[in-house]
Amino acid sequence: MSSYLKKKYYIYYEKGVAEATVQNIVFNWSICATNYIVLTIEIVDNLGLPFFASYNKLGLEWGKFNEQVKIFNQFTNKSEKYYKQDNEHITFFARYKQYYFGYRDNEKIWGDKEVQGYSCSVIYPYRSVVRFNQNKVQSVWHERLDPFGTPCD
């Protein structure tokens, strides 16, 4: 793991990209919740939320992409869901050629909202890369974070 320390990465935020160096490594290992490794960096406040990192700089175009959001959200409205109150809607923040980078998150999920009562609209935060083919959603990459330990329910 120490090989990741002091390496430079491009961090892709809601509103742009910045270079950062890994400062520390933290991990979570659990049989019930999502296992993950966190490479800590210094956050650039004026770029919004950080979403992912890469070794090489990608030529992303930032924007709102409202038409793609509408198509994706219509698709999820028709999909079967584990939690019916979770609409699984997404926000696309960037694209590279025909690939759209999206996220959904809700700070309330980590804070004071009661999850058992399902009072928040986002149950699982995720990051996703999709493309559209004749208004059909094609998932390229998708990753969810389970902060609740659902497998142990």
pLDDT digits (tens, 9 = 90+) for 68-80: 999 988 887 776 6
pLDDT of 146 above 90: no
CA–CA gap between residue 106 and residue 147 (Å, rounded): 12
Q: Is 94 exposed, middle or buried (0-12, 13-18, 19+ CB in 10 A)?
A: buried
User: What's the confidence (pLDDT) of residue 1?
Assistant: 61
Of all residues in the chain, the percent with pLDDT exceeding 70 is 71
Q: Is 53 exposed, middle or buried (0-12, 13-18, 19+ CB in 10 A)?
A: middle
Q: Are 50 and 19 in contact (CB under 8 A)?
A: no
User: What's the confidence (pLDDT) of residue 119?
Assistant: 47
Which pair of structure tokens corresponds to residue 67? 């038409």
CA 100 to chain centre: 12
Q: Are 123 and 113 in contact (CB under 8 A)?
A: no
